[in-house]
Structure formats: C-alpha cells, structure tokens
Amino acid sequence: MAKTILAVDDSASIRQMVAFTLKGAGYEVIQAVDGQDALDKASYHQVNLVLTDINMPHMDGLKLLELLRELAHYKNIPILILTTESGDEIKAKGRAAGATGWLVKPFDPKRLLEVISKVID
Amino acid sequence: MSTDLEQFYEIFFEESSELLADMEACLLRLDVNSPDLEDLNAIFRAAHSIKGGAGTFGFTDMTEMTHMLETLLDRLRKGELTVRSEMVDAFLKASDVIKAQLAGHRGENEADPKVAKEVCEELKRLSDEIQDRLPNEAIADADIEMGAATVEIDISNVPEVTVNVPQSKNASLKKTYCIEFSSASMGDAAIENLFANLKRLGDLEELSSADKRDQFKLRLSTESSEEDVWETLAFVVDPANLKIELEANDVSRNAGNVQNFSSNISNAPDLCTNEDELSSEKMPPMQGYGFFPGAPAVPKELTNSDLQSNSMQQQSAHVSKNETQNKVNKPSSKVSAPISPATSETSSIRVSIEKVDQIINLVGELVITQAMLAQTTSQLDPVIFEKLLSGMSQLERNTRDLQESVMSIRMMPISFVFSRYPRVVRDLAAKLNKRVELKTVGENTELDKGLIEKIADPLTHLVRNSLDHGIEVAEKRIAAGKPAQGTITLRAFHQGGNLVIEVSDDGAGLNRGKILVKAKERGLPVNDGMSDQEVWSLIFEAGFSTAETVTDVSGRGVGMDVVKRNIQGMGGRIDIESALGVGTRISIRLPLTLAILDGLSVAVGDQMFIVPLNYIIESMQPSAADIKTISGHGRVVQVRGEYLPVIALHEVFNLHSNVTAVHEGILVILEDEGHKAALFVDDLIGQHQVVIKSLESNYRRVQGVSGATIMGDGKVALILDTAALVLASQQEMV
Amino acid sequence: MSQLQTAITTSNSNNSRAIQMPNEFLTFRLGDEEYGIEILKVQEIRGYDAITQIANAPEFIKGVVNLRGIIVPIIDMRVKFRLGNATYDQFTVVIILNVAGRVVGIVVDGVSDVISLGLEQMRPAPGLGSIIDTEYIMGLGTVDERMLILIDIERLMSSSDMGLLDHTIN
C-alpha cells in the first residue's frame, strides 16, 4: 500500500507542487492549508509522514508539531518542517517542538523525494 | 523541472495577487502609532509566502523584493524597530513593484527594474537604519577570547545579537567567503541580479576570469551570516552547484576579539581555529535538509551529512537544554489548552469559474426540463395523478432552491472591489494635497463575480473624479464652513432585484452654469431651461470635462462617457444627484447577476422574445384612435398625453406577424434613461426568470438582441436589447 | 544496411505525413457532389427542429437552436451554396461541428458514412470545379468509384464568408 503523506502549507502553489511531486513518486498525499486543518486531517487519516510549512496563519507549523506529537499515533512518525526560514533559530524551534528533520525552500523535487525516502522507505 | 512547474504558475499568480491585496489592506489599516502585531505578522506572512513561491518558480526579481520586505518586516514585528509612515509608504511601493513583476511574469508588461531597484534600496536603508539607532550593548558580550574551540550559542538571543551589531563596528565583523557556483542554465539577467544582491551584502570581488562565464568564483566580504549569503544564492543557483566557504586566512586577517563575536551569531564552528576537529565532518553549510539527532523517526543509518554535524548539532543540543525541560512538562498542560475557535475560520475551496459555470448551465437545463415536465403534467387529471403532481411541485421547489444556491456561488461581496479604494484615495489625496476620508458602507453586499470584475474600473474612475473635482482643498472647505477633511462615501445595498452602488462626496457639487457653458462651447444641444437631471447627464457626453485645469488624475474628461457605457454594458444605469456646495452623489444600479434576468415573454408570429422587466413601465391594448402616423416617421401612440414612438418588433426583425394593426396587438411601454417608447407585439405570454446565454460564444452580436435564453419547451428565445431599441426609436423621431 | 536505412526513413516520413493528414472523414452530400470532413471536427449529428430565427441574418443562417444548454447557430449549406430547394422535414440532417472553439451546426443533403482514407487515396485539390472555393479544399479522396471533396471545415467556418464571427465588421 502506498505511503500517505500529509503536506501542510498555506501557499496553494507550494502545496500543490509538493503534492504533485510526491504523487508522481507514488505516495498518497493529503493536503492541509494550515496547522488547524492539518490537525483535523491528521486525526482521521492514517498518515506515514507529515511535511509542514512553519509560517502559516491560524496555527503555525511549530504548534502543529507540538500538538501532533501528543497524539499517540503521531509520536513516532517522521515530521519534516519545510520552510524558507533556513535560519538556525527556526530549526532549533522545530527540533524542540519535535520535528524529525528540516528541508529548506525553495522547494526542489529531487531533494524532497530524497529526504522523504530516507525516513519512510 | 521547469515544465513541471508551469502548471502551477497560474495558481501562484492568483495566490500572490490575493496575498498582495491582503498585504495592502493590512498596510492601509495599520496605525503607525500603535501597530497591531497581528497585522504586522500577516504582512510578513504574505511577503514570506510570495517569496517562497517566487523562489521556487525562479522569479528572482520577486524573490529579491520580497526578501527585502521580509527583512524589514521581521524587524518590525520583533519590535526591534518602530513603524513609521515612511515605511508604510515604502511597503506600498514595494507591493506595487511586486504587482508589476507579477504582471511581467504573467506575460503582461515587463516591470521596470529601475523602480524595483529604488524601492529595494529604500527598504534596505530603512532596515539598516536601526542598527545605528540601537544601543550597542552587544559589544560587551563580544569580548570573547579568540580561538575558543567551543562556543556557547544562545539561540534565544540570536536575532537580537544580529540586529544589535552597531554599524560602526561592522568593518571589523566582516567575514570573507569564497563562493563558487556554476551558472549553467542561468540567464544573464539572473546573474546580474545575483551580483547586485551579493553586492548589497558587502564587498564583492570576482576571482573567476571573465572569459569563463558559466563557472564563477567570487570573494565576498560581508557582515552577513553565511546563512544569509546562502539564502541569497540558493534562490537562484542550483544548490548542487553551489559552494560557499569561509576563507581560511580570514581569521588571521581579521584577527581581533570581535572575530568570535561574529561566530557567536551563527555558524560558529565554521570559524573555529581548531579546524581539524571539524574538517572531516565539514559539509556544505546546507545541503537543503537535515535531521535532528534523537528526534522521533530519524532514520537509523544516517550518514554524517544527514546529521547536521556543525553548528546545528550544537545549537540543537543547546536548545534541548533550554527547551526540553519545558517539553517534559508539556503534555499535561498542552492537552488542556484548547485551540482557539478563531482558528477554525470558514474554510473555502478554490474552484475554477468554468466549473461553476458548468454547474450553472446544468442547473439551467434542469430548470428547463422541470418546466417542460410541469407543462406536460399540468394537463393531467389532478385527482388521478395526485402523487405525480405533488412530486412535481416538490421538484419545482427543489429546482428553484438549487438554482438559487448555485447562482449564489458566483456571488462575491463588493468588498473585493471596495478594498482597493483606500489605497487609491490615500495616494491621490496626497498627490492633490487634499484631506479626504473614505467611508465604505455595505461591503458585504453580494454581487455576481462577473460584475465585480467589470465594476472595478468605472468605480475607480468615479472615486478619482470625486476626489479630483468634487472635494475641495482644505482652505476652500474651511472658508465654506465645512470641515477641512472631505469625505467620500462608497455605499452598496440591494434594492429590489438590483444592487445599488453609490459614490458620494461632500465636495463642491456640480456647477450647473459651468456645465452649460462648457456644453455650449462643445456644441452640444443645450438650453438654459433644461432640468438639473438633464444638465448633470451632460457630463457623460464624450469629451466633456468641467475641471478648470486638466489634471493627470481624472484626465481630460475621457472616462465619464466610458464609465456610462461600461455600466450600461453590464445592464445597469447610472444617475447623478448634486447640490452646489453640498456634494454629489452618483448611483449605479446593476442587476444582481449577469446570469439571470427577470423578463416578460412576448410573441411575434411564431417567435418569442424576452423583454427585460426593468425597462417595462406597463403594457396596454391601445385604441385605434390613439395611434397617429407622422408622415415619414412611422407611428406614435398617445399615452397619458405623451406621444411615444411605436417600435413594431416584426418590422425591426423582419418577421411575419399575425397582427399588423397596432390596436389589435399589445403595446409594451419601455423606458430607458428618460426616453419612452412603445413596443408593438402580437401578444404577451408571461413573466419568467430566464438564464441568460450568450449568442456570441458560438455566433456573433446581433443588432437589437442582447442575448438568448432557453424556454420551458427547450426552444431558444432571444432577449431584446431594450436600450438599443428605445435609442433607435428616438433617433427616428428626431 | 543501407536498404534498411532507406526503409526506415521512408516509413518515418510516412508516419509524419499521416499525422499531418487526417484519415477519417464523415462524408455527406451537397447537390451532386460528395464531401468529406475530418471526423474529429464532428461533435454529433441530429435532426432539424425547433429553430429560432435571427433577425437580419443572411439567408443561409437559419437561426439558433438549443443544444443541451448552449446556443448553436445553424447554417444551411444548401442555401449558402445555392443548391436546389432546401426543404426541412424529418429527414433533414444537421451536422454539429466543433471548429475553432465554437459549436456550429450545418444542414446538408444527407450524411453517407464514415470512411478511412489512406494517403494513396488522397490527391491535392485541382484548381477547379467545386461549388466550394478551392481555398477551403484540402484535397480529393477516391474510394472505389466515388470522389470525395475533402473540406477544411475549420477554415471554411471561420471565413468571413460565413459571417459567423464578428471579424466581418470593420
């Protein structure tokens, strides 16, 4: 069965490109527009990996991370943060919030697939 | 990758336009004296999102501009700098530039890079300024012994430290990076742009020879962190072909205590003199991703480069000291922390308008089928077919509800249009040196999307006109006993089946005498006995302008006639009320939707036509005595003392009519812009709400017809262009 | 080796020609002549009914019909090309075309069939003899004893002759 990835980004273009790339590589993709949406979707879908933007309205990626890590079946799944803020500060915060790893934008399909394959295949 | 990306361009363009609009709205409501942090965050987010997309799509001009925006905004939202109105102006200018760049990428007019550069520099100046202003408390901390192998990095302080670095000390904080990259597949413009960006960071020296243009070697000395340098490059250059290294002899060259201070900011280990310790694990500063050791689900077999073994590792270790403690305590407190209900704002989906229109078409079909069934079943015996008939009436209700809901998908609040005017008014008022407040009322009034798009330009013209010609300068207003600040009010509301939009001002009002004089100069047929209404409508004549000086604002009177034509093209009308010295109010009356029309069906011979209901005053069966023939000018009919031209529809359309004597048929009295005419038809059939279909999508414009619709029996009926018919009858009469 | 090379080249060039030239045609009659139009341009074939006249349109534009919610103009090719008397009954056939992004119906004398034409069955159009201007003729096709005039229907329908588009107005 194909692995399912929850892709969270408030930017429709980025989100759809991520989805496009992942689907092309044979993953199932669930898209969410912000942390809240992602949390809702995470709770009724079986997800193998979460890929989230940090800076989003309503609920940012860090908050989402923290809340996801409190859900039993999200304790140990990989959660990657995808963000243009390649600054160490944000990575550190991501780590503290429970991220598995990070990936900087600008988004590069090859790199995205590479990092994802490292954690879920 | 480029071909893959193209399919997302449109989404990005749309999204960016929306983000820009949001950004502008936030900027305009931003109170410089007490800026709302949420607004600043929202503006930052918008810039940030655009940057992310632009970077991905390789729109480097946009990346650059949004990056500058983001830098300044970031400092503002972190409170490191206070908002000044000069900044808001710069932001607005930047958003204009981005808009232009967006249009450029869309294949419209290319943005002017000169303007972009100016704005960029202004933003840079504004964000750099603070460095001078803030106290240089950080200097004391910078006094760290040189050459330490480990450096304490306090992440929570990083941003402040970075910002607090005083400009005066920058020279000594400079680091020199050796940058190598391949420019394969990069355009000259992109390279030039990149160089300009790098120069902005510091002193740039090119080491590569000029004849080898695809491989660049540069030396950059800058106070920016390696991260910044990387970011500047990574948006343009394929990270795989990019190498950034701190120059080895840099440390000795810049020997001094401050050296380690800069390492304190970021990438500390890179600067360590004890290079052996790191060199084995040294990787490009960023390969674009990394994992956090010990984090959940980290791959077990990680290569060295997967774990970010330089600064990140140390930082994260440090962070965990600070924050894991919090984390331990979290679960209990977290669960109880409810998610604020504000976060679950109404969600929406983006659907292409074609899809919506397809649904509307299908529902239109359904309505027709339902009408056909209703017609057939109405002849059945209601006793025997009771169940069928009650089912039919249920179907009718459902169909009507469905149609209403579907039509409402196309409806959008007028705020989509209104929201652009604060900016227009702000800019224009500044230019004209007038003080004006813009009020908007009824922003949530809904209107068909098609109309929303079309109303924006005419409305802009009216607003500009009010500001330019209506509102007086402050001195004049005070002299007239009015408040110095003028008010322009935009108001939208529903009235009957129409939407009314009013643009009113408390300015000078229209000057009847001046308009008449001007009209005479222009050779228009006017006389002093004309009613006010008739005088005001003169300003809609082509080439009419009453402004004493022609300004570049509302132009040379080009426009009001166009405004009127546009409004009429949308099936609407425009009226003016004005009082000298008190103000002017222009009302636009539009149908709620382009897609549905209330009409009266009339028969001529075997053909059926739809007359839009809002032009009809009454219908009547005239007596033969009321019909008069004016030699050579056709017929007129006397209705309540007025003689109205008779438009015989069968003559206009060359049809065989069952009735040729006017008094045997029916006259439908029409009115358009104060002109009346009587439409002569065979018979009235009924009143309908019809779905308007375009004739032009498969055919062409037809004189006297504004569109078509499909009737209950599945036949096509043409909708009359009433305004054109009335106009033609008036011309015949003259 | 060289023979093989030649064979490949020929078959390649055949392929590219085949792509350029449509090979399935709907054939219909107009007067004494038989015509073919590219099948891909044909949306459907229906009867002639419930037409709404359009005022002051050329005589060959019979009016518009409702085709599942779209308004479609109907052109009578018999009137357009002045072929005998155009009668309308239950046998009158309308070919609904999808050309140049528009849906248009044409009335013809009768639809025959759909045929495939190989390249060897097609000839360039000679400069004479058809009721339709050579400008709109792609070529001639031969099937057994029949000669088909292959019309570039897209070009014909977009021409100012047809008056379907607004470009006739200057």
- Would the pTM count as exceeding 0.80? no
Residue B367 lies in a domain: yes
Model confidence pLDDT, tens digit, residues B623-642: 888 888 877 667 888 888 88
Residue B348 lies in a domain: no
> Which residue in B has a C-alpha nearest to residue A58's C-alpha?
B343
| Cβ <8 Å between A95 and B292 | yes
Q: What is the CATH number of domain A4-120?
A: 3.40.50.2300
Asked whether residue B277 falls in the same domain as residue B424, the answer is no
Residue B498 at interface with chain A, using a CB cutoff of 8 Å: no
Q: Judge contact between C35 and C29, C-beta under 8 A.
A: yes
Residue B480 lies in a domain: yes
Q: Judge contact between B442 and B414, C-beta under 8 A.
A: yes
How far off is chain B from C170, nearest CA to CA, in Å? 14
From CA B309, how far away is CA A102, in angstroms rounded? 14
Q: Judge contact between B493 and B443, C-beta under 8 A.
A: no
Half-sphere exposure of B503 (CA within 13 A, CB side): 24
ipTM of the complex: 0.81
- Which pLDDT band holds residue C26 (cuts at 50, 70, 90)? very high
Which of B368, B704, B708 shows the shortest C-beta gap to C55?
B704
Give the pLDDT confidence score for residue B141 in this predicted structure. 39
The string over C26-49, giving b where at least 16 C-beta atoms fall within 10 Å of a residue's C-beta and e elsewhere, is bbbebeebbbbbbeebbbeeeebe
User: Where do the H-state alpha helices sit in chain A?
Assistant: 12-24, 35-44, 61-69, 88-97, 109-120
Residue B351 at interface with chain A, using a CB cutoff of 8 Å: no
Three-class HEC string of C123-134: ECCCCCCCCCCH
> Where exactly are the structural domains of chain A?
4-120
Asked whether residue B246 falls in the same domain as residue B158, the answer is yes
From CA B315, how far away is CA A93, in angstroms rounded? 10
Model confidence pLDDT, tens digit, residues A18-75: 888 888 888 888 888 888 888 888 877 888 999 998 888 888 888 899 888 888 888 8
Q: Which two tokens stand for residue B393?
A: 């009436």
Asked whether residue B547 falls in the same domain as residue B436, the answer is yes
Contact residues, chain C, for B705 at CB < 8 Å = 54-55
From CA B440, how far away is CA B734, in angstroms rounded? 43
Model confidence pLDDT, tens digit, residues B431-445: 888 889 999 998 888
Asked whether residue B434 falls in the same domain as residue B582, the answer is yes
Burial of B154 by CB count in 10 Å (0-12 exposed, 13-18 middle, 19+ buried)? middle
- Token pair 């107009």 is found at C30
Last residue of one domain, picked from the residues B117, B133, B149? B133
How far off is chain B from C116, nearest CA to CA, in Å? 29
| Cβ <8 Å between B715 and C102 | no
Asked whether residue B394 falls in the same domain as residue B507, the answer is no
The string over B358-390, giving b where at least 16 C-beta atoms fall within 10 Å of a residue's C-beta and e elsewhere, is ebbbebbbbbbebbebbeebeeeeeeeeeeebe
Contact residues, chain B, for C102 at CB < 8 Å = 697-698
Q: Which two tokens stand for residue C125?
A: 């159009």
Domain count of the fold of chain B: 5
Q: Judge contact between C23 and C116, C-beta under 8 A.
A: yes
Give the pLDDT confidence score for residue B270 in this predicted structure. 38
The string over B290-316, giving b where at least 16 C-beta atoms fall within 10 Å of a residue's C-beta and e elsewhere, is bbbbebebbbeeeeeebbbbbbbbbbb
Which of B5, B286, B315 shows the shortest C-beta gap to A86?
B286
Residue C162 at interface with chain B, using a CB cutoff of 8 Å: no
How far off is chain C from B359, nearest CA to CA, in Å? 11
| Cβ <8 Å between A92 and B319 | yes
Asked whether residue B54 falls in the same domain as residue B150, the answer is no
Residue B342 lies in a domain: no
Chain A interface, best mutation among B9, B14, B23, B56, by max A CB count within 10 A = B56
Asked whether residue B681 falls in the same domain as residue B605, the answer is yes
From CA A101, how far away is CA A92, in angstroms rounded? 10
Q: Taken in order B438, B441, B443, B447, is the CA torsion positive or negative?
A: negative
How far off is chain B from C55, nearest CA to CA, in Å? 5
Cβ-based neighbour number of residue B201 at 10 Å: 17
Residue B334 lies in a domain: no
Give the pLDDT confidence score for residue B264 in this predicted structure. 39
Asked whether residue B604 falls in the same domain as residue B569, the answer is no
Which of A96, A107, A119 shows the shortest C-beta gap to B297?
A119
Cβ-based neighbour number of residue B552 at 10 Å: 8
Q: At what angle do helices B188-201 and B60-77 cross, to 10 degrees?
A: 20
Which of A33, A84, A98 shows the shortest C-beta gap to B52?
A84
How far off is chain A from B266, nearest CA to CA, in Å? 8
CATH for B310? 3.30.70.240
Model confidence pLDDT, tens digit, residues C84-107: 677 888 888 899 999 878 899 999
Q: Do chains C and B touch (3 or more CB pairs under 8 A)?
A: yes
Give the pLDDT confidence score for residue A86 in this predicted structure. 56
- Which pLDDT band holds residue A1 (cuts at 50, 70, 90)? low
Give the pLDDT confidence score for residue B5 in this predicted structure. 63
Which of B158, B296, B339 shows the shortest C-beta gap to A75?
B296
Contact residues, chain B, for C46 at CB < 8 Å = none
Distance from the Cα of residue B709 to its chain's centroid = 32
From CA A110, how far away is CA C42, in angstroms rounded? 44
For residue B653, the enclosing domain spans: 596-733
User: For C130, phi and psi rounded to 5 degrees?
Assistant: -105, 160
Q: Judge contact between B327 and A96, C-beta under 8 A.
A: yes
- Token pair 């009346």 is found at B676
CATH for B12? 1.20.120.160
User: For C56, phi and psi rounded to 5 degrees?
Assistant: 55, 25
Q: Taken in order B526, B528, B530, B531, is the CA torsion positive or negative?
A: positive
Which of C69, C108, A50, C63 has the alpha carbon at shortest distance from B692? C69
Last residue of one domain, picked from the residues B410, B443, B477? B410
Residue B328 lies in a domain: no
Asked whether residue B567 falls in the same domain as residue B655, the answer is no
> What's C87's DSSP letter?
-
Domains and CATH numbers, chain C: 25-168 (2.40.50.180)
> Which residue in A has a C-alpha nearest to residue B297's C-alpha?
A78
Asked whether residue B122 falls in the same domain as residue B178, the answer is no
Indicate left, alpha or beta for B557 from its phi (over 0: left) and psi (-120 to 50: alpha).
left
Indicate left, alpha or beta for A26 from its phi (over 0: left) and psi (-120 to 50: alpha).
left
Give the pLDDT confidence score for residue B162 in this predicted structure. 36
Q: Which residue ranges in chain B fall short of pLDDT 70?
A: 1-5, 7, 130-174, 183-190, 209-214, 224-228, 230-232, 234-241, 247-287, 300-348, 496-497, 542-543, 545-559, 592-595, 632-633, 673, 732-734
| Cβ <8 Å between C71 and B702 | no
Contact residues, chain B, for A78 at CB < 8 Å = 296-298
Indicate the SS3 state at residue B47: helix
Asked whether residue B438 falls in the same domain as residue B528, the answer is yes
DSSP B528-595: TT--HHHHHGGGGSTT----SS-BTTTBTSTTHHHHHHHHHHTT-EEEEEEETTTEEEEEEEEES-SS
Give the pLDDT confidence score for residue B217 in this predicted structure. 78
How far off is chain A from B39, nearest CA to CA, in Å? 11
Residue B448 lies in a domain: yes
Asked whether residue B172 falls in the same domain as residue B59, the answer is no
